[in-house]
């Protein structure tokens, strides 16, 4: 069956720090009255497989689509395990997320076993409150594991974290091993390796509303995976790349941003791309898209036209 631009059903995640914006943002009903922290819009994580919602492949999981035609999906660069290597999501943080860190590939295999990936990720800020929002990314220069243990023991962890007030459009690139946290009142897009390994280092001295108890911390694993030489992380500087801005290019993915009010092209012949609409609307390859919509463009589809209604902002993720 010929491949075509694919849509998927969002997978909502209830989180104690979540808000109420994501169901409306992706135009899907909320699964319950609980706060929704994340909407996974493209996932090949075990137990959370994205399901196609459009065209002849509707009802198939992303993994089934890949298994049926891996070259059609990925082109020449089919991942050795045949799984989609990226997880894409929207995050609505009403409260601060825990201070956390993710392992790199080698550490993930050592700690969790063969087949596990590390987690390098990037965020794009979609909304933030200039009075209450903060991004915590990296540690102050000179912070060591011993310094961090001391901060944990006396409750001064926030003082060890580099932070800044985010603005809409900021892109934050976080290599595995970077200590980080998303602050309160922030809506963002995230692209990451397909991994769900998170080590909590600090949780703002709060308890889980459901249990009344503090959430589990993973201090030893977290400190073992922390790159203390990295230092503070600031927003990425966009690099002009043709008619769009390159936000990130790393060994796992590329991320570009385009802001246009006239026809343009997305996708690339022979390469798999994912297009995320973050403002406005229009059509892409004849598919109607609005804010919050995500389209997977298999390699077999190649480049396709995008026709904005007026002004449309899109993010385009490429696989490396």
Architecture (CATH level 2) of domain 239-319: Sandwich (2.60)
From residue 19, alpha-carbon distances to 13, 58, 129, 167, 172 in Å are 11, 30, 14, 19, 21
What pLDDT, on the 0 to 100 scale, is given for residue 210?
74
Report residue 1's pLDDT band, with 50, 70 and 90 as the boundaries.
confident
Instruction: Give tens-digit pLDDT for 79-99.
Output: 999 999 999 999 999 999 999
Average pLDDT over residues 4-20: 97
The region of weakest confidence among 4-13, 41-50, 203-212 is 203-212
Domain with CATH 2.60.120.10 in the chain: 11-225, 239-319
Residue 221, pLDDT score: 96
What is the second-level CATH architecture of the domain 11-225?
Answer: Sandwich (2.60)
Q: Among 320, 302, 298, which residue's Cα sits nearest to residue 68?
A: 298
| pLDDT at 223 (0 to 100) | 97
Beta bridge pairs of residue 274: 296, 317
**pLDDT higher than threshold 90 for residue 211:** no
Structure token pair of residue 145: 């594991």
* Residues 76, 63: Cα–Cα separation, whole Å: 18
Q: Given 7, 63, 83, 200, which residue is catalytic?
A: 200
Token pair for 319: 């696989």
Catalytic-residue membership of 20: no
For residues 273-284, b (16+ Cβ closer than 10 Å) or e, as one string? Answer: bbbbbbebbbbb
Look up the pTM and report it. Answer: 0.96
Question: For residue 183, what are the CA distances in angstroms to 27, 29, 96, 121, 318?
Answer: 24, 25, 4, 16, 27
**152 pLDDT band (50/70/90 cuts)?**
very high
């Amino acid at each position: 069956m010929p491949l075509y631009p694919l849509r998927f059903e969002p997978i909502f995640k209830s989180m104690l720090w979540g808000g109420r914006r994501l169901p409306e943002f992706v135009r899907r009903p909320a699964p319950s009255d609980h706060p929704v922290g994340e909407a996974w819009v493209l996932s090949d994580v075990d137990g959370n497989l994205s399901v196609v919602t459009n065209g002849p492949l509707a009802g198939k999981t992303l993994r089934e689509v890949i298994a049926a035609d891996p070259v059609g999906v990925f082109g020449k660069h089919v991942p050795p395990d045949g799984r989609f290597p990226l997880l894409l999501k929207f995050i609505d943080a009403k409260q601060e997320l825990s201070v956390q860190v993710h392992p790199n590939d080698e550490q993930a295999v050592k700690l969790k076993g063969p087949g596990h990936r590390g987690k390098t990720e990037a965020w794009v800020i979609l909304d933030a409150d200039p009075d209450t929002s903060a991004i915590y990314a990296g540690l102050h220069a000179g912070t060591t594991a011993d310094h961090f243990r001391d901060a944990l023991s006396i409750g001064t962890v926030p003082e060890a974290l580099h932070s800044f007030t985010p603005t809409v459009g900021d892109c934050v690139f976080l290599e595995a091993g970077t200590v980080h946290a998303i602050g309160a009142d922030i809506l963002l897009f995230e692209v990451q390796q397909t991994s769900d390994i998170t080590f909590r280092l600090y949780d703002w001295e709060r308890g889980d509303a459901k249990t009344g108890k503090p959430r589990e911390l993973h201090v030893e694993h977290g400190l073992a995976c922390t790159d203390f030489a990295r230092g503070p992380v600031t927003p990425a500087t966009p690099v002009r790349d043709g008619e769009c801005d390159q936000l990130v290019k790393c060994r796992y993915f590329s991320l570009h941003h385009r802001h246009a009010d006239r026809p343009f092209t997305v996708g690339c012949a022979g390469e798999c791309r994912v297009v995320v609409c973050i403002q406005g609307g229009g059509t892409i390859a004849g598919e109607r898209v609005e804010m919050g919509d995500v389209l997977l463009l298999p390699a077999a589809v190649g480049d396709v036209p995008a026709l904005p209604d007026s002004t449309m902002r899109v993010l385009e993720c490429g696989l490396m």
